Structure 1
Amino acid sequence: IKSVAAQQNVTLTCPRSFGVKDLLFWLRIISGHQPEFLGGTYAFDLNKVTQTTHFTTKQGPGTFILHINHTQINDTGLYYCIRTSKTNMTFLRGVLLKVKGPQSSISSIIQAPPSAAVHPGESVSLQCSVLSDSEKKTCSEDYRVHWFRAGSHQSHPSFIYTHGDNVECGYSSQKCFYNFSKKVNVSDAGTYYCAVAACGEVMFGNGTNVDIKGKDEASLTYSAPTFSRRKVTKAERGNTHSAKKETIYSDVRFHN
């Protein structure tokens, strides 16, 4: 296995043993494609160079060389050096070449706070911290910061804001802060994500869950009357008005 960064030059070699009728070939196999012939030569010494803008094959002392000029991401694949002799074919060398694309200096994205609870009409303030490591950076592309919201009933996050060039950003040697503030209503509930686009990639933060609380509903008090019955004296039996007046609530319960 050989790993290189994009735009680097790569040289692969395989042994070349002398045989008058032997032939050597470099082939490439990329997933989803037919094998590709890159160049060939005889086993005996031959001062011949096969060259394109991207590949060069030639003989070296006891070797057969494949040179790849300015590697690209799509050069990732299996490279085989093959020797044929009459009806026999021998694999002399196989190399898995991995070409890595340009890397951003961003090491992590942190959002704060992890959650927030606000009422309709209030403002919520979110912060996105972008941590960088300048030693990792292999591309010169400046990054852009975007905000997305994923609602509970949405199948895809919705775009809500992009920071412009004039955004107030507090810089240190390895950290930059992006602040986002919004006055919310009930429909603004959801998870807010900070996304950073750099070097052809999009990296997301851990998200902030924003909960919109409704106005406090008036608490209701429920009362359940319980009636007690007592014996009525002979003097009160004919006095219906007096009996009604004596009836009271004996049990009242409150529910919050």
Structure 2
Amino acid sequence: MKVFCSKSVIIHILFERFFYYYFCFGFSNFMFSGSNLTSSLAPSSSGLSFEAVNVGQDVTLKCSYQENSAIGAYWYKQSPGRKPQLMSESLKHARNGSMKSPFKNDPRFELDTGVGKNNLKISNVQTSDSAIYYCVSGHSFQFHFLEGITVQVKDLALIFQTSVYQSELETIHPGDSAMLNCTVHTGICDGEHRVYWLKDSDESNPRIIYAQGNGRTQCEMKPNRQTHTCVYNLPLENLNASHAGTYYCTVASCGHILFGNGTKLDYKENLDPPVLLYVLTGTLAFVIVLMGLLAFISHKLYKMQKCNREGDSVDAGNLHYATVSEKNVIRSRTPSEASDVCTYSTLQP
């Protein structure tokens, strides 16, 4: 099981991408519903950041903007699986910013505003504060995302008692069906669960392909135990090459996001029977030819070695020696000078 804080960068990118586009759509409808005004939304130029804090700590989310062109600045909170909530607004001609309901009744939330400054301070953070916080500035009818900050509040007691399990690998073939399983052992948290299935492949970036609402109906509840077991399934039908990839089960509960290790679907093509027969026949023919060639070469080498051994072996009993004496008379001025030359020959039948 991989918890949110141990994969903070990956999960941060995945959920920022999903919730960012959802937020753009919802924010535009919220601000201009029932009007003929046109609007445009610009993404953050400063990028996205991540803050991990423990329960009970304080955190300050900083945001700056160009006051001379902005009509105001706003903070939005988006909890996992929820719509964005307007937290505060700081208008250009107002002396101080103000928190919006339900945050204005919670003393833990404070605004620190000034010239080009719109900071949000959260005191004594709780697990429910885990969310994505957006700082947005308004320029006429154009809105800019200045900051996108993911705040993850860690509760050690909850983290170590919660886990997500997935099978590692499954092999699929064309037209098959598959059922991906995700088992969640919940901790002491009694909040509802929201389950997301994400797919990551070589052809596309990680994306959410399926979301479930309250998943508690799939949990085995035991009154005498603090932990419960929940099983979530993702059915896949009529599989093809586009289904190959790694599927992650992600559970959002009580301000925490739990990430499974992922199940990899390995796609294998089915060979038609005639094609398979041709392949096997060709392979068999090649093996037979190769074996015949090796046998021929081995036989030739054996005959050559045999001939060499027969030529080198000599039977000493069948050898006969004879001495041939040839007298060569060399005539010279000195009559007494003569030379005898002896030649030995070997005879073999």
TM-score by length of 1: 0.46
> Going by fraction, where is helix more abundant, 1 or 2?
2
Structure 1 or 2: larger strand share? 1
- Which TM-score applies when normalising by structure 2? 0.35
State which structure, 1 or 2, has the greater radius of gyration over its C-alpha atoms. Answer: 2
